[in-house]
Amino acid sequence: MRDVTQGSGTKAMVDMNIVRLMGGLGNQMFQYALGLRLARETGRPVAYDGCNGFSRDLCCRRLALTALSVEMSLAPERAIPLGMSWGSPWHRVAKLYWSHAPVRRRVVYERTPFRYEAAIVARSSRGRYFHGYWQHEDYFAPVAAELREHFRLRDRPSPAFLALQEEMAQGGSISVHVRNYHDRGADGKILAQSRAHHGACSWDYYREAVERIGGGVGRVCHVFSDDPEWTKAHLRLPVPCHYIAGRGAFSDVEEMQLMASCQHHVIANSSFSWWGAWLGRNPDKVVVAPRTWIRGVPEGSVDVCPRSWVRI
């Protein structure tokens, strides 16, 4: 990772596209993916704002991409448009300004979350600041092969990781992600509002998803969860389950790579397991995803999963 503060003249900063990083690891990967496409298609330099998107994060999340083999430059502070560091309610003032100043508009906001906007890439012809999550495969489809190489682990993992990865790569392994939104805020309390907003998948969903993939000799579920004890107490599946929490202390990026090592995938309504499934290299993989991605949001307005994935 490079800091482009040094040697960046005014013209270079005007030409530079900047992508805001925010949210957890999965969200940051979507944002990085958009930046990679912008860089390859426009030939303009792309830098990432790795500061302002985390300054008021309720879950205390921070830049997580550095554990992957990414090619990333950090944007100098003086290149960040006015208002990107402001908190509520002043950030609404900044958004109103940048959204309604056609001559000086420099910030590109995501208008339709979970859906692809082809005009977004076209608006990178001059240096812009991209503010959004960009959770759709079409934003990075032209650079997908290169992106897979960028999303490998930067450092060599432990022998325990390598042994488990080899085990998952063989036979009928299924990654199962159970997310209870067991996040904790700066005050140490579980953020119940996150669970209320997103909603956890039902136990019936997981059972039906595994049944849809099918059984067979050697079929085993490798269960990933942010709340493993709660999951063990409630999850009942028709095939044997191995819980990753009992196999070693793995980082988030390592867990995602282990997900990708499985042959098939049952994901939660989570960008984390979305990437774990997308990175899976089995050409015949079956990926099952929940129809309801955000509680209370109509299914038809959320186009987050590739068309080949099964929605139930």
Distance from the first to the final alpha carbon of the chain: 40
Lowest mean pLDDT among 12-26, 186-200, 278-292: 186-200
Rounded Cα–Cα distance for residues 142 and 51 (Å): 28
Q: What is the pLDDT of residues 17-73, one digit of tens each?
A: 999 999 999 999 999 999 999 999 989 899 999 999 999 887 788 999 999 999 999
Alpha helix ranges (H) inside 43-175 = 90-99, 119-122, 144-150, 159-169
12 pLDDT above the threshold of 70: no
CB atoms closer than 10 angstroms to residue 120: 22
CB atoms closer than 10 angstroms to residue 169: 14
246 pLDDT above the threshold of 80: yes
Lowest mean pLDDT among 90-104, 137-151, 183-197, 274-288: 183-197
- Residue range 287-298: mean pLDDT, rounded: 88
Confidence (pLDDT) at 297: 78
Q: What is the pLDDT of residues 77-131, one digit of tens each?
A: 999 998 898 887 777 888 888 877 665 568 999 999 999 999 888 776 678 999 9
Note the pTM of the prediction, 2 decimals: 0.90
Rounded Cα–Cα distance for residues 20 and 128 (Å): 11
